[in-house]
Amino acid sequence: MTSCNVSSLSIFIPSAERPWNAERVNHVLRRLSFGGTTSDITAALNLSPEQFIDSLVDQALAIPPSAEPSWNSWTYQDYINAGLDFDEETQNNHLEWGLQTYNDMLDHGLKGRLTMFWHNHFVTELDVYYCSNYMYRYYNVLQTYALGNFSEFVRAIGKSEAMLLYLNGFENSLYNANENYARELYELFTLGENNGYTQADIVETSKALTGYNHWNDFCDYIYFDQSSFNTSDKTIFGQTGNWDYDDVIDILFQEKSDLIANFICRKLYTYFVSPNVNETIVSELASIFVVDFDIANVLRILFKSEHFFDSLAIGTLIKSPYDLTNNVIKTLNFSFDDNIKLGVIYLNGIAGQSLYNPVDVAGWQGNHDWINSSTLTARWEILNYIIVTAYNIDPEVFRTFAIESSNNSNDPYLVTKSIIERFVPKALHTLEDYEAATDVFKYDVPSNYFDDGSWNLSWDVVPIQVGLLLLHIIKMPEFQLK
């Protein structure tokens, strides 16, 4: 479907018709990270939209990759020599690094968001490669190149042990050819299905990718050895020679740069803007991206644009499970311990988004695929768990949120409306929707206390009122959007 958003890539300049307001700040925070607090919104409004985008990209560029875990170099034999149960320790490491990944999502803004985007582009499945150190090294590549040079990203990811095992590069040798990685390199990672390559290119490329078939122990580093490399001449995209892995990447980006740029910019567009693509915008982004394949640069241009800030771009995407949970946690500024976070990770898996285990090699398709009759109920249950847990830990968080959101109003309708606006991308459809939510918020407080103005947000019952309203909001259709 074609996008109705015809705004350009020119830098967005606020006007009376298109103000720089909390709605647009929340749009940025939901898309580029997972939401923000009242103070985050206030800080953003003190900057221009262009300055705000630059600050988010600059912060992301400045965040280093997560620290290497103590077990990164441990092989199977190392665990055995230490008298440890390999499977038990590996499962513990999976939990540890899953928690690290989740904390990075919550704390690292655009860096965390983009790392997850690439996690669903350069797909691997932990269930296949299993080794926890491979899990870390794969994630390290995603973090290192998340806003970097895309051609170097492609070069690095294919040599990661997780990818070599997942897409059978480890099996691809002079003696036993395997075309799997060659095919997905073109179809899923750089060009798109049936776009600019032939079966002959796949066959020849697979020969050039041989040699990465060696390790000294299970879960040890995988390395290249000439003994299993196919030294014959290969013809790839019309170029013939004794090509190897690095040659493949060089030739790919020399011969197919325009196709790569268009494919990646389209994917960035559908992830950050809308599932309905504006082909002109994608083409213009691709013409910028193809110059140097700088991810941060092309994202700055997109995120600063009139097109990104257009009202038709707001509320066009369906939240993933992590969008849902992280948005509530970030917006309400909840603070949870590790056990509760592990519970959220587990429940998000039930809802269809299991970290390090996308559904298949093509990844989560997103948007409408996130919601069906079973996952919708799971989405509600996860958020119910988060809200009730937060209330049991510290109900005063709910009062503080209401005070900050409404500027300490004592009008129940205005308090309700201000809280709703923190969680939905656009206004509700009817006045009756707001009135129904206000009735939920009023709870069992007698109406005369609202009528005479004596009720206010300092009352003991307020945290319960806010909690009930939140449980109502999470079931709104509008809440499913970002």
DSSP conformation letters of 7-46? --SSBP---SSS---HHHHHHHHHHHSS---HHHHHHHHT
Whether 338 is covered by a domain: the verdict is yes
What whole-number distance in Å separates Cα of residue 201 and Cα of residue 203?
A: 6
What whole-number distance in Å separates Cα of residue 9 and Cα of residue 283?
A: 11
Whether 216 is covered by a domain: the verdict is no
Which tokens in the block code for residue 221? 């580093």
CB-CB contact of 288 with 297 (8 Å): yes
What whole-number distance in Å separates Cα of residue 311 and Cα of residue 443?
A: 34
Nearest CA-CA partner of 128 in 180, 186, 81, 79:
180
| Boundaries of domain holding 372 | 321-480
For 369-409, give the DSSP string. Answer: GG-SHHHHHHHHHHHHHHHHHHHHH-THHHHHHHHHHHTS-
Number of compact structural domains in the chain: 1
Whether 32 is covered by a domain: the verdict is no
- Per-residue pLDDT at 1: 72
Whether 316 is covered by a domain: the verdict is no
102-106: long-range contacts, CB 8 A cutoff, minimum separation 24: 102/341, 102/344, 102/345, 102/355, 103/341, 104/66, 104/143, 105/34, 105/322, 105/326, 106/34, 106/326, 106/329, 106/330
CB-CB contact of 208 with 179 (8 Å): no
CA 425 to each of CA 29, 67, 313, 406, 447: distance values in angstroms, whole numbers, following the listed order:
11, 35, 10, 17, 30
Whether 344 is covered by a domain: the verdict is yes
What whole-number distance in Å separates Cα of residue 192 and Cα of residue 194?
A: 6
One digit per residue, the tens of pLDDT, for the chain of length 482 reads 778 999 999 999 999 999 999 999 999 999 999 999 999 999 999 999 999 999 999 999 999 999 999 999 999 999 999 999 999 999 999 999 999 999 999 999 999 999 999 999 999 999 999 999 999 999 999 999 999 999 999 999 999 999 999 999 999 999 999 999 999 999 999 999 999 999 999 999 999 999 999 999 999 999 999 999 999 999 999 999 999 999 999 999 999 999 999 999 999 999 999 999 999 999 999 999 999 999 999 999 999 999 999 999 999 999 999 999 999 999 999 999 999 999 999 999 999 999 999 999 999 999 999 999 889 999 999 999 999 999 999 999 999 999 999 999 999 999 999 999 999 999 999 999 999 999 999 999 999 999 999 999 999 999 999 999 999 999 999 999 99
pTM for the whole structure: 0.97
- Per-residue pLDDT at 216: 98
